[in-house]
Amino acid sequence: MGKAYEAVLKEKLDAANLGRLKVLRNEALLTFVADAVALCDPDTVLVCDDSEKMVDLTRRKAVETGEEIPLATSGHTVHFDGILDQGRDREVTKYLVPEGESFPKALNQVEREAGLAEIRGLLKGAMRGRTMIVRFLVLGPLGSVFSIPCVECTDSFYVSHSMNLLYRLGYEEFKRLSGGDFFKTVHSSGRVDERRISADADKKRIYIDYGTDTVYSVNTQYGGNTIGLKKLALRLTIRRADREGWLAEHMFLMGVRGPGGRKTYFAGAFPSACGKTSTAMLPGETILGDDIAYFRVLAGEMRAANAEAGIFGIIQNVNPKDDPLIHDVLTKPGEVIFSNVLVKDGRPYWLGMGGELPKEGENFSGAWREGKKDDGGKPIPAAHKNARYTVRLEALANCDPELESVRGVPLSGVMYGGRDGHAYVPVQQGFDWDHGIIAYGASLETETTFATVGREGVPEINLMSIQDFVAIPLGKYVRNNLEFGRKAKKPPLVFGVNYFLRDKAGKFTNGVRDKHVWVKWMELRVHGDVDAIRAPTGWIPKYEDLVPLFREVLGQPYSREDYVRQFTIRVPENLAKLQRVERFHRTQVADAPPVLFEVLAEQRRRLEVCAAKGDYVSPLDL
C-alpha cells in the first residue's frame, strides 16, 4: 500500500478484511477508515461486503452481543435504548461550522475546530475491546442518478443489522465506482451497561462536519442518532442537492389508485407522529417510502425516488383495524427489529395496539411493572411512545414494484401536513406551485411530539417538516423549492392536509381513517376529475364529491354537518396563524424570498374579504 494509512490498517485488519478494502481502489475511503480505526482503537475490524454470509453474520452478532434479544416469533428481535436515549436529540445534534461562516439561527451549531476536538475526544479509544464494523451502503436505487454511496464505521451490531434492513447494500457499488465522493459516518455506543445499552447519556453527541461530508455519533444507540444514513445524512444530502440543482426532502412516497386502474404518485411531508407513515401505508395503495425522498427533473418531468429501502417506523397505535398491512408484517414470521416496546414471554407489546397490556415485563427501563417511576418520580409507561419497528419495504404486501427504478417515479402531487388544532381545514389544494409551497410547506405549523427529545405539545413552525435538517440558509431552501417547480413542464399539485383539526369542545373533527378519503380526493384533483371550491386558503372539496368517496373508501355515510364542521373557514384562527408564520420568517429566516411575504399578504387579503361574512364561514357560503 505504501501510504500513510498502511500501518494502521495492517495492525488491526487481517488479510481477508484488508483485501476487501483494497479491492475498492479508493484512497479517500482507505484514509477515512484508517482514521476511524486510529481514533476509536477497536480490537478488530470487520469489513462487510454484500454477501448473504456477511448479512447473516451481522444479524447473528446483534443477538450474540446482547444488543438484540430474540422474540417468540421467528425472525423477530427486540433492542432497548437507554431511558434518556429514546428519540432524536436536538440539543446535542450540531453542525460543525467553520469560524466566520454564517448559518441560520434556527440551526444548532458549534464552531468546527472546537466541535471536532470535543467529539473526537469522546470517540478516542471508544471501541477498545470491540469490533469495528465497516458498512458500505447506498442512498437511492443502485446504479441510478439518485444514488449516493455511503460508508459507516460502527461498533454496534444492532446499528449494522438495522442498516441491512433500511438501505441498499453498497459494497459492489463502491467497487464499480472505483473512487468518487461518498458520505461518511463514525459511530460508537460508548460505554455500555450490563444490558449493552449506552450508559453515558450526558456525553451523547451527534456532530455533522458538512465540509467533509462526515457524521460523528457517540454515547447513543437510538436509530435516529446512530444510523448515519437517516436524518444525519439528510443534512449532507440537502447541501449536495443545493449544489447540483435537485431536492432532498423529508417525505414519504406512495402510489394512489384511481379510476380505471391508474396509479398516481404522491410525496408527503409530515413531522414525526403526525400521520406520515399511516398515510404512506393506506390499505389498497402502494408504498415506495415513508421518510426521505429525492426529487429530480428528468426530461422535463419531476421524478422521485426513495433514499431508503426499509422503514424505521413509530409503532404506537399500529393495530389491525387502522394499519392492517404493517400489523400483518409485525405479527408473522420474518425479519423485524422492535425497539423500546414492552416484552413479556417473548412477545412485544406497544401502546395503542389494542387490548390490555401486561402489568409487568421488560422494557427500555429494565425490569418493569405497572407503577414503576423514573428518577424524577414520573410513571414509566409499559412501552415508549416513540417505540419503533424496523423492516424492509419488500416485506410489505403493498410495496410498489417501482421501488428500485433507476429513474424513480413520476410525481403528480405533494402534500404537507402537521398538527394544527385550530386553523387549516383537513385538506386543500394550493392555487399554484408557489402558493402551495409557501402557504402549506413554508407555513407548516405543528405541535412538538414525543419523537423529539424535549417538551411535547408546544406549537412551532416546522418549515417543510425539514427545518431541523436544513444545512443551508432556510430562505435559500425555500427559493430552491420554488425554482425547482419551474423546471418541470407540469409541476405537481401541492396540497395541505391537517388530520388534527379540533372543534370547540376539543374533539378531533376527523376520524382516524378519514385521511384515506382526503388522499383519494387529491388523486381525482390531479386528473381534473372533480371541481373544487375556492376558499381563502386554497381549493377545498365540494360536499357532493366527498359523499361517494366516504361510501366507496370507508363504507360509511358522510353528513353535511360533518362537512361544515370540517371545512368551515376559521378566519380569526387563520389570521393569527399567518401572523405567527410571518413573524417566524422575519425573525428566523434572514434571507426569506420576497415572494413568500407577497403570497402570505395575498392570503391575508382573501381572509379579510371573507371576514365580511363572519368569523366562521361555512363552505356552503363560499
First and final C-alpha spacing in the chain? 75
Question: Exposure of 152 by Cβ count < 10 A (0-12 exposed, 13-18 middle, 19+ buried)?
Answer: buried
Helix or strand run (H / E) with residue 606 = helix 594-610
37 and 12 Cβ atoms separated by less than 8 Å: yes
What DSSP letter does each residue of 517-535 carry, written as one string? Answer: HHHHHHHHHHTT-S--EEE
C-alpha to C-alpha distance for 152 and 362, rounded to whole angstroms: 31
In whole angstroms, give the CA distance from residue 126 to residue 205.
Answer: 13
Single out the residue of 491, 481, 563 nearest to residue 521, CA to CA.
Answer: 563
Rounded Cα gap, residues 257 and 287, in angstroms:
11
The H or E element containing residue 136 is strand 131-139
**Closest by CA position to 313, among listed 226, 389, 229, 396:** 389
DSSP bridge pairs for 452: 88
Q: How far apart are CA 496 and CA 503, in angstroms?
A: 19
φ, ψ of residue 430 in degrees (nearest 5) = -65, 150
The C-alpha atoms of residue 311 and residue 359 are separated, in whole angstroms, by 29
> Are 79 and 338 contacting, i.e. CB atoms less than 8 angstroms apart?
yes
- Of 59, 52, 48, 55, nearest in space to 24 by CA: 48
CB atoms within 10 A of CB 16: 9
Pairing, β 109-111 against β 93-97: parallel
Exactly one of 40, 48, 153, 274 is catalytic; which is it?
274
E-assigned strands of 292-351? 293-298, 301-306, 310-314, 336-339, 342-344, 347-349
CA distances from 380 to 34, 204, 359, 368, 466 (A): 43, 22, 12, 8, 30
Name residue 294's amino acid. Y
Active site residue 274: yes
How would you classify the pairing of strands 533-535 and 427-429?
A: unpaired
Residue burial 556-595, b: 16+ Cβ < 10 Å; e: rest: eebeeebbebbbbbbbebbbebbeebbebbeebbeebbee
Known catalytic residues are 274
